[in-house]
Every structure is written in structure tokens, then in C-alpha cells.
Amino acid sequence: MAAGKPPVIQIRRVTKSYGHGDATVHALRGPSAPDGSPLGVSLDIEEGDFVAVMGSSGSGKSTLMNILGCLDVPTAGRYLLDGIDVGHLDEGQLSLVRNRKIGFVFQSFNLVPRTTALAQVELPLAYAGVRAAERRRRALAALSLVGLGERAGHKPNQLSGGQQQRVAVARALVTSPAMLLADEPTGNLDSHSTEEVLGIIDRLNASGRTVVMITHEDEVARHAKRVIRLVDGAIISDVRQAEVDGPPPALAVEVGV
């Protein structure tokens, strides 16, 4: 990480609650004040880190992911993404931030049927107003990065589950986002495809990409440099497994670091 550069993610005393009065549910609350009120979640994620966020159903991990991904806004607190305070943005501005700053990879691939891999990966660039020739060049480069340069003309029904997820990873990368946000990215994959996709994410992180991955699987979390666990809307543990500036753990084992 460059000296003096602020974290990609800075969260300060963020809470998220639903309902009112006695029916209020605190999906994200952080530690409690002496009077029992929520103090909120605070978290920094540095450029180049690889963070796994873990927790059971109802722990708050999906709520945190939605806030990190600018898909939802906190009830209270501040969120700075790559130096931008997203709390003051309207929906149109949030949409721009999502398009330019965040690459999303979801469990369900979210590919468009009957559309080629190349066109899928070009889509975020089209939204961003990038010209056709440049879109094609960057999309082909992203597909090559995930080992699918030869499959650019294939549609989802001509690709395996692992290949479809790799197309989704290429689509997430093509805008050169500040952060790759992966929500259970291997949840629908067999063990071989899981290792392939995690290997790609490992290499992306090793090249400097910041990764935040939501998972409930210890095997998947072992790939991360840092593991955060949530229970009842609060961080209960934050364990570093590898240094921010080094390779992720699985790659470190491969190369004997």
C-alpha cells in the first residue's frame, strides 16, 4: 500500500436498523453502550487486503455487504469508499459509484441468457459510456485474465458453472474497480470449480486488487489475509492470516513463502 494512502474502506459507527420502537431490529449494531444502545460497527480495509466476512444467517454479514456495496445505506454512521463519503449521495450518484468503484461477484452468476461472454463483460463499460472498440479491447483482456479468452463467443448455456462464474469475475474487473466484492462466490460450484475461482481471486489480490468476500465456509475463508466474524450485528473477532502487502495464504503456500 502506498504510504499515507487512506484505506479503501472506512466505516465509522455504522448501524442499520429496521422497524420502530419496541419492534426495532438492529441488523448491524456493533458493541453496546452502557445504556444498551448500539455503538455501531467501525472498520478499515486497506488497499490490497483480502478480507473474508463470516457469520451465520442473521449475523449481519449480508447487511454489511449491502452497505459496503452501496446497495443500501446505513441508519447512522459514516462510510467512505476510496475516499468518497457515500452517505450524502443520491441514488444516481450511488449507481455511478457502484459502476466505477465496485466489482460485484454473486453466488448466482447473474449472467444474461443468450448473450456472449464478451458482451456480458462489456456491459458495465457500456453503462459507463466507453466506446465500442475500447469496450471490446478491455473485455477481451479481462476474459484472458480469468482464462476464458478462447470462450469470448460462448453463451452461458455453453459454459460450465465454474466458467460462468469466471465470466462474472471478468465482468466485475473490467471497470478496474477499487474493490472486488464477492458474495458467496463459490456457493453454487463443485469443488474443482471452487478451487479454480478462488485461485483467480487469489491471483487478483496478489496483483494488488482489494477483495472483500462474504462466506460461511472455513475452507473458503482460508484464502483470505484477514477474517472478520460477525454475530448479532457486531464484529466478535478480526484475525489477520497474512500481511496486506504479501501474497494471500494459499498462494504463499504454493510458492513456498
Number of domains in the chain: 1
Is residue 122 scored above 70 in pLDDT? yes
pLDDT reading at 1 higher than 50: no
Structural domain for 169, as ranges: 48-57+90-255
83 domain-assigned: no
**What pLDDT is recorded for position 156?**
96
Render pLDDT for 75-86 as a digit per residue (tens, 0 to 9). Answer: 999 999 999 999
Work out the average pLDDT over 17-27: 87
> Which of 139, 168, 250 minimizes the C-alpha distance to 205?
250
In a domain, 28, yes or no: no
The per-residue pLDDT for 255 is: 54
For residue 131, being part of any structural domain is answered with: yes
Confidence grade of residue 222 (pLDDT, cut at 50, 70, 90): very high
pLDDT band at residue 254 using 50, 70 and 90 as cut-offs? low
Distance (Å, rounded) from C-alpha 7 to C-alpha 87? 17
Q: What's the average model confidence in pLDDT over 188-212?
A: 94
Q: How far is CA 86 from CA 57, 73, 146, 157, 165, in A?
A: 27, 8, 30, 37, 28
CA dihedral 185, 123, 116, 154 (to 10 degrees): -40
Q: What's the whole-number mean pLDDT along residues 112-118? A: 95
Q: With respect to residue 102, please indicate whether it lies within any of the assigned structural domains.
A: yes
Q: Please compute the mean of the pLDDT values over residues 246-256 and round it to a whole number.
A: 78
CB 175 within 8 A of CB 207: no
**Residue at 104 is within a domain:** yes
d(CA 223, CA 255): 14
So what's the pLDDT on residue 87?
85
pLDDT digits (tens, 9 = 90+) for 127-168: 889 999 999 999 999 999 999 999 999 999 999 999 999 999
Confidence class for position 252, pLDDT limits 50, 70, 90: confident
Sign of the C-alpha dihedral computed for residues 139, 145, 146 and 150 taken in this order: positive
Does residue 39 lie in a domain region? Answer: no
Q: Which is higher by pLDDT, 1 or 54?
A: 54
Is the confidence at residue 22, as pLDDT, over 90? no
Which CATH number belongs to the domain containing residue 144 in this structure? 3.40.50.300
Does residue 22 lie in a domain region? no
Number of residues that make up the chain:
257
- The region of weakest confidence among 6-10, 86-90, 140-144 is 86-90
What is the average pLDDT score of the chain? 92
Residue 157 belongs to some domain of the structure: yes
Q: Quick check: 88 pLDDT over 50?
A: yes
The yes-or-no verdict on residue 2 having pLDDT over 60 is no
